[in-house]
Amino acid sequence: MRAVIQRVSKASVTIAGKTVAKIDEGLLVLLGIEHADTEEDIAWLSKKINNLRIFNDENGVMNQSLIDINGQAIVVSQFTLHANTKKGNRPSYIKAAKPDVAIPLYTTFVKQFEAHLGKPIQTGEFGADMKVALLNDGPVTIIIDTKNKE
């Protein structure tokens, strides 16, 4: 499982001209799921993201988590995070999980993320053509791959 985490002042997801998710201060999480991902990856990653200390404290030091600031979050499925660009110029997405595997893992991730955060989060729509808008705060962008957790 691979995630691109962006600290945002605001973010939104629009599908076919309709805004389906919108937040202020918090995190925009782009989530890529591959065939080899497990429930263990979900548990580890959802806890890790919620506890990342990437928000400023009263001294301007990145020392607070999403939980600490009572922030909001949007999680968007993005299979292109598993693009392989080693050969040629057309990326291969062979490692990205097919929908029958990815959708249940994505749904479970969202539920566990909410459980760690202690409140509902917003999402895009799996497989939809989404327009994602954000104002990256910092900028702060972090990439986490569960295959590199040790």
Using alpha carbons, list the distances in angstroms from residue 94 to 28, 99, 100, 128, 148: 25, 13, 15, 19, 19
- Residue 114 belongs to domain spanning: 2-148
Q: Check: pTM over 0.85? Answer yes or no.
A: yes
How do strand 2-15 and strand 55-56 relate by DSSP bridges?
A: unpaired
* CATH number for the domain harbouring residue 73: 3.50.80.10
| Per-residue pLDDT reduced to its tens digit, 74-89 | 999 999 999 999 999 9
* Residues labelled as active-site residues: 80
**How many structural domains does the chain have?**
1
pLDDT in tens, the chain (150 residues): 999 999 999 999 999 999 999 999 999 999 999 999 999 999 999 999 999 999 999 999 999 999 999 999 999 999 999 999 999 999 999 999 999 999 999 999 999 999 999 999 999 999 999 999 999 999 999 999 999 977
pLDDT tens column, 12-26: 999 999 999 999 999
How many helices and strands, by DSSP H and E, does the chain display? Answer: 3, 8
